[in-house]
Amino acid sequence: MFDEQAPGVALQHRYVDNQNGIDGLDNVRRLLFDNTRQVLYAVSADDDALTAYHVADDLSLTMLDMMSGNEARGTLVGASDMTFSGANQDIQVISFYSGAVAQFRLQENDSLRLLSYLTDSLDIQRVFRQSNPISAEEDTLGLLGPYAIVGSDTGASYVAANVSQALVKVTSTKGRLDAGQILRASQVKALAGAVSVALSEDGELLAVAGMQASQIAVFKMSESQSLTVQQILPDEKHQTQTAPLFVTFVPGAEDLMVATQSGVFRYVPDPAGRFKLAAQLNVAGSLPLAAVTRMAFSPDGQCMLALSESTDQVNIFARQSGGDWQFADIIDVEGGQSPTSAVFLTPAQVAISFAKSDAVHIYANVCAYSHTKK
């Protein structure tokens, strides 16, 4: 409950694939926003595309360019996630069926350019339909079925590969991609069914959710920039995290958030740096927050959106003085189906992608409320 409740969340714009000059939103999976150039990026798993849109002052979108097919050398088949990488904010895209990570740059003339890519170039039919799995000798890069990617200003990024059951470090030097450290489930069991990866703000910790393993691996960055296991969650007796779907670090805090099929859990580090379970998030009526597949935070880290692709819900939470999260509101998604991603265009205005609707909605007044409890 909050004092000084602002006007409710309002839908400002709706953009649907192949309508009014907009393309690249067929099964849209992820959004990114570059606030320096006022550009919104989207990746589409069914258009097999990366698309850039200009964001006007009234937050309306105009399509700038779309990269797909032969232009992208076949690296965008089943595009599933993307991240900014390096100081110049190049875009790195992973594609589930291509088994690839590719780096793109939006040039000064507002056209997209493919800079570099990594792939084993294994046939999709062999990877996903044959009875015998691809051997480790063939899967040299560990990039089969890449599901999530996170990048940093240093040019290093990390890919959680679901089919390879691996975590792969990718480095970018002057736009050229190279594979670095590869960790597999045979080395770290928690990487089985890897579906999500998150990097702490200071770049010292990396968390990976293994859906098959029902575990979270927390890695520490060494002085040589290699990853070593710091902790496997959950590590308390009689505690389970069935089928973790998403992990993220809270901006401006050291907290780690874990979303599973059954709920969302907040972990905090103890003085020794080991994460301990602090709370489980609830919605109205103290019901557990279930089936969350992604979380997004406002720039100040005080507002969080919890998206559920299976229930079509987007819940708003406000951060309290002690670090707990209190349910604030639920967004009426105006018929949008399967929310997959949310990015803040301003502190209270948000773009949300909907995979089954092939659409992007832009909302106002999303986090426009006082944090004072009643």
pLDDT above 60: residue 251: yes
Q: In the chain, what percentage of residues exceed pLDDT 70?
A: 94
User: How many CB atoms lie under 10 A from the CB of residue 112?
Assistant: 21
- Can you tell me the distance from the alpha carbon of 20 to that of 33, in angstroms, rounded to the nearest whole number? 21
User: How many CB atoms lie under 10 A from the CB of residue 111?
Assistant: 12
User: How many CB atoms lie under 10 A from the CB of residue 52?
Assistant: 24
Per-residue confidence (pLDDT) for residue 243, from 0 to 100: 87
Three-state SS for 210-263 is ECCCCEEEEEEECCCCCEEEEEEECCCCCCCCCCEEEEEECCCCCCEEEEECCC
Tens of pLDDT, residues 92-127:
999 999 999 999 999 999 999 999 999 988 877 777
- Can you tell me the distance from the alpha carbon of 194 to that of 245, in angstroms, rounded to the nearest whole number? 9
Between 3 and 300, the higher pLDDT residue: 300
CA distances for 330 relative to 54, 203, 260, angstroms: 28, 32, 19
Is 193 in contact with 212 (CB distance < 8 Å)? yes
What is the Cα 140 distance to its own chain's centre? 25
Per-residue confidence (pLDDT) for residue 369, from 0 to 100: 59
Between 239 and 193, the higher pLDDT residue: 193
**Backbone dihedral angles phi then psi of residue 107, each to the nearest 5 degrees:** -80, 175
pLDDT above 60: residue 370: no
CA distances for 157 relative to 86, 119, 200, 296, 324, angstroms: 9, 15, 12, 19, 30
User: How many CB atoms lie under 10 A from the CB of residue 35?
Assistant: 13
pLDDT above 50: residue 2: no
First-to-last CA distance in the chain?
6
Between 237 and 249, the higher pLDDT residue: 249
What residue type is 255 in one-letter code?
Answer: D
Which residues, 6+ apart, have CB-to-CB distance to 139 below 8 Å?
Answer: 120, 122, 164
Residue 368: which pLDDT band, with cuts at 50, 70 and 90? confident
Residue 131: which pLDDT band, with cuts at 50, 70 and 90? low
Per-residue confidence (pLDDT) for residue 374, from 0 to 100: 36
When pLDDT is averaged across residues 293-300 and rounded to a whole number, the result is: 95
- Can you tell me the distance from the alpha carbon of 29 to that of 45, in angstroms, rounded to the nearest whole number? 7
When pLDDT is averaged across residues 224-236 and rounded to a whole number, the result is: 89
| DSSP string across 307-351 | EETTTTEEEEEEE-TTS-EEEEEE---TT--SEEEEEEEETTEEE
If you compute the radius of gyration of the chain from its CA atoms, what whole number of angstroms results? Answer: 20
pLDDT above 90: residue 250: yes
When pLDDT is averaged across residues 320-332 and rounded to a whole number, the result is: 92
Tens of pLDDT, residues 42-80:
999 999 999 999 999 999 999 999 999 999 999 999 999
Helix ranges restricted to H, 73-217: 124-129
Between 6 and 63, the higher pLDDT residue: 63
The average confidence (pLDDT) of the chain is 92
Q: Tell me, yes or no, if the pTM score tops 0.85.
A: yes
When pLDDT is averaged across residues 29-47 and rounded to a whole number, the result is: 97
| DSSP string across 20-74 | TTB-S-TTEEEEEEETTTTEEEEEETTTTEEEEEEE-TT--EEEEEEEEGGGGTT
Per-residue confidence (pLDDT) for residue 153, from 0 to 100: 84
Nearest partner of 163 among 197, 137, 195, judged by Cα: 195
pLDDT above 90: residue 358: yes
Nearest partner of 112 among 54, 65, 47, judged by Cα: 65
pLDDT above 90: residue 4: no
